Amino acid sequence: MQPHSPSLLDVQRIKQDFPILQKVPEGRPRLVFLDSAASSQKPQTVIDAMTQCMEQYYANVHRGIYSFSEESTERYELARQTIAQFLNTDTESVIFTAGCTASVNTIARSWGDAEVQRGDLIVATQMEHHANLVPWFQLAQRKEAQVQLVRVTDDGELDWEHWQRCLEQNPKIVAFTAVSNVLGTINPVARMVQAAHRAGAIAVVDAAQAAPHQPLDVRAWDADFVVVSGHKMLGPSGIGILCGKPELLNKMPPFLGGGGMISKVWETGFSCAEGPAKFEAGTPPIVEAIGLAAAANYLTKLGLNAIHEHETKLLIEAHRILSTIEGVRILGPSLERKAGIVSFTLAGIHSHDIAYLMDKQGIAVRAGHHCTMPLHKRFGIAASTRASFYLYNDISDVEALAEGVVSLQSKFRRKRAQ
């Protein structure tokens, strides 16, 4: 095996921060976790922050005038400030939602229902997660609008000629992912946002696979809306972020009605609260927001640039080893345009069989269409196997993945020969 350049991250020390990574599942020889693109593991600092809230000061926010409620409110709003700093955006632009899916649906139901008209065009791409497709299809059905998907090339990049032709049709909304959850393709977000604006459209960016792995600058992107998933960036599930330009949020009607999102209610109607509260009806995800802030602080302390560089080293090694294995087809673009995700197929073996048998070896990978059916259809496959790397993975995990693939290949060959 060739020597590897040192990482900026001390992975062995980092692993000690994650209690679950100290446990080996029953009946398995080890734990090699390679499914962070689906949901990341949680460091002790996040667990502690959430536990402390529930044990020491939990109460509903923005309502009580007793000490617990006041402290919960302070910590909840401090979490909003932390996330704003993490994403480099304004605090009044940060809305807590139930997740990335809820964030996109909020945009579609609020801005979309108010602004999209019959015959309008919504542009997305073939590489989108269903969460950034289905809400637009639903909006188009409600408003008798149209959805067009920008094609993906054979090497996993957006077809820029087709992109331009789509924008020339003057769309109302342009929605796209910053990083593909299957191909790992890193899209030029700022450039795409500028092109969408020149076409007269708003730009909606799905940053679920970007925020955990590389520095994000929402201001520099200049997107109208950016959505982020909490559970993919070391935070808990049940919370996401919707970043919107204040001038748009101020004009948008609320998506959900109830307590917390009102200014006044009278017998014949109501008036809305201002700022993020307008879109945070009911009891918000208090504990989850505090946990997410702890996750953002953890990532900031390690350094997103260091995390990205570390994952790139793992990606390069994974491509190098897997590409030498006969029958392996790696999906996605060249390494310089790719994040730490390796999706592949193995000739003659279904991805579900690969994932099942990998698990027997203590290796957790993803199998299926990864909520990207149009993308898999584009490449003529029903499913793929995905290994995704994060800050707690190292070269030994990449080697275990490759060894697992070779072992499965040998096992299936012997079985066919019988």
Q: Tell me the C-alpha to C-alpha distance, in Å, between residue 377 and each of 124, 187, 346.
A: 16, 21, 17
Q: Are 245 and 251 in contact (CB under 8 A)?
A: no
- Rounded Cα distance between 330 and 119, Å, is 39
DSSP 8-state symbol, 35: B
Q: Looking at 141-230, which runs of residues are DSSP E strands?
A: 146-150, 173-177, 202-206, 225-229
| Token duo for residue 283 | 């009891």
Asked if 371 is an active-site residue, the reply is yes
CA gap 57, 231 in Å, rounded: 23
Would you tell me how many other CB atoms lie within 10 Å of the CB of residue 235? Answer: 33
Q: Strands 341-346, 363-364: parallel, antiparallel or unpaired by DSSP? A: unpaired
Non-local (6+) Cβ contacts of 324 within 8 A are: none
SS (H, E, C) 112-161: HHHHCCCCCEEEEECCCCHHHCHHHHHHHHHHCCEEEEECECCCCCECHH
How far is 25 from 8, CA to CA, in rounded Å? 29
Pairing between strand 121-125 and 173-177? parallel
Beta bridge partners of 392: none
Residue 177 C-alpha from the chain's centroid: 9
Q: Counting every residue, how long is the chain?
A: 418
Rounded Cα gap, residues 312 and 32, in angstroms:
18
Largest Cα separation within the chain, whole Å, is 78
- The identity of residue 73, as a single letter, is T
358: which 2 tokens? Answer: 């990998």
Active-site pick, 100, 166, 272, 371: 371
Q: What amino acid positions are annotated as catalytic residues?
A: 371
